Amino acid sequence: MQSASIAVVDSTKRSGYAIAQIVTCIHTGWGNGQRGSGARKMISKINLEPEDIEAIAIKLVSIFEDLIKKEIQWNQPSELMDVRSLASFLGVEPSWVYKQVRQSGIPFFKVGKYTRFRRSDIERWIERNKN
């Protein structure tokens, strides 16, 4: 069985530019048929020029930005709500929400027989109806 890891082990400035040594370790062990006292490490070092370091940093920032955006999207509440989720959002009983729908006191729309609410419409409605 093999696994690999990459780590920056040294970052120094020489002659006005940065050099980062990146160590790649490939761990090998019993799973690949080798015999011996345990796992072996094969290590290689790479010296990178400043423009290479910058390119890697830009790529990492891009990857992390995408991951953060996806995490934010997954944690955002849904734009559409049903009666129960709206009641929970407003801190009221579902019967109150049904009454508001019957009296057209709250913005809603129908999807077939189902009553739905847009969060943005409800938030605007709340702002307009603050006492």
Tell me: the pLDDT tens digits for 82-99? 999 999 999 999 999 999
What confidence score (pLDDT) does residue 26 get? 43
Summary mean pLDDT of the chain: 74
Q: Are 53 and 18 in contact (CB under 8 A)?
A: yes
Q: Is the pLDDT of residue 100 over 50?
A: yes
Confidence of residue 39 (pLDDT cuts 50, 70, 90): low
In terms of average pLDDT, the best of 2-11, 43-52, 67-76, 108-117 is 108-117
CA distance 62 to 66: 6
Cβ burial of 123 (10 Å; 0-12, 13-18, 19+) is exposed
What confidence score (pLDDT) does residue 46 get? 75
Q: Are 69 and 45 in contact (CB under 8 A)?
A: no
In total, the chain counts a number of residues equal to 131
Mean pLDDT computed over 109-126 = 92
